[in-house]
Amino acid sequence: MLGQLKCLETLNLSHNNLSGTIPSSYGEMLSLTIVDISYNQLEGPIPNILAFQNAPIEALSNNKGLCGNASGLELCSTSNGNSHNHKTNKNLVVILPLILGTVLLTLFLYGLSYVLCRMKEYKVADESHVENLFTIWSFDGKMVYENIIDATEEFDNKHLIGVGGHGSVYKAELLTGQIVAVKKLHSLQNEEMSNLKAFASEIQALTEIRHRNCEVIWILLPSIALIFGL
């Protein structure tokens, strides 16, 4: 309250057993010319105005520990504040790298987990695709042959999708629901056996096809050279 009396010229608070620090609002009482705060329990810095700075030591004495730019008083130490700031800065230097390291480690582990999960999904999908495609071939050759004959309606031309030098290719839907291309060899006469080398090269080329939508299988069945899934 007294700090609001900005036109006050004389302030005498001596012998009042006051304690604590002097309010900072006293620093705005620029009209003060005479101050006496002796015989109290005041401590800390005095206001930075002429009335306090020019006050005689008797007007400031017998207090718990006043300090400031006044005759007879010790200068206020800033070591506590500096020490606190230094400690705070030191804590920040230690904590910030830990937080940053934790965030980076979390992101790395999340990314690694995501990549491994995706790789596992692709592997399972590929294995499932291969397994489904090969399951039907685990039966004996006669059953497989009969399934192909039924699927192509004994190689009816309506299932024909292409003709090559060594055979015709038919589209067939197997019992598993998979769509495959079946190549039926042309009948080879004895004088045409010399073409077997070229045919073998064709088979070799087909078995080396690598595409996610084409899984090549080649099997030996009567008059059927190979089958490859689409």
Q: Which residues are annotated as a binding site?
A: 184
CATH number of the domain encompassing residue 50: 3.80.10.10
What are the phi and psi torsion angles at 13 (to 5°)? -120, 20
Whether 160 and 204 share a structural domain: yes
Give tens-digit pLDDT for 90-118: 677 778 788 888 889 999 998 888 888 88
Q: Tell me how many domains the chain contains.
A: 3
Its domain, for residue 216, covers 139-229
Whether 72 and 85 share a structural domain: no
The H or E element that residue 197 is part of is helix 196-207
Whether 106 and 152 share a structural domain: no
Give tens-digit pLDDT for 179-188: 778 877 766 5
The residue length of the chain stands at 230
Whether 13 and 62 share a structural domain: yes
Give tens-digit pLDDT for 57-93: 999 999 988 998 888 888 888 654 454 555 666 677 7
Whether 6 and 65 share a structural domain: yes
Whether 83 and 19 share a structural domain: no
CATH number of the domain encompassing residue 184: 3.30.200.20
pTM of the entire predicted model: 0.35
Residues 6+ positions from 214 with CB-CB distance below 8 Å: 228, 229, 230
Q: Which residues are annotated as a binding site for ATP?
A: 184
160 close to 183: Cβ distance less than 8 angstroms: no
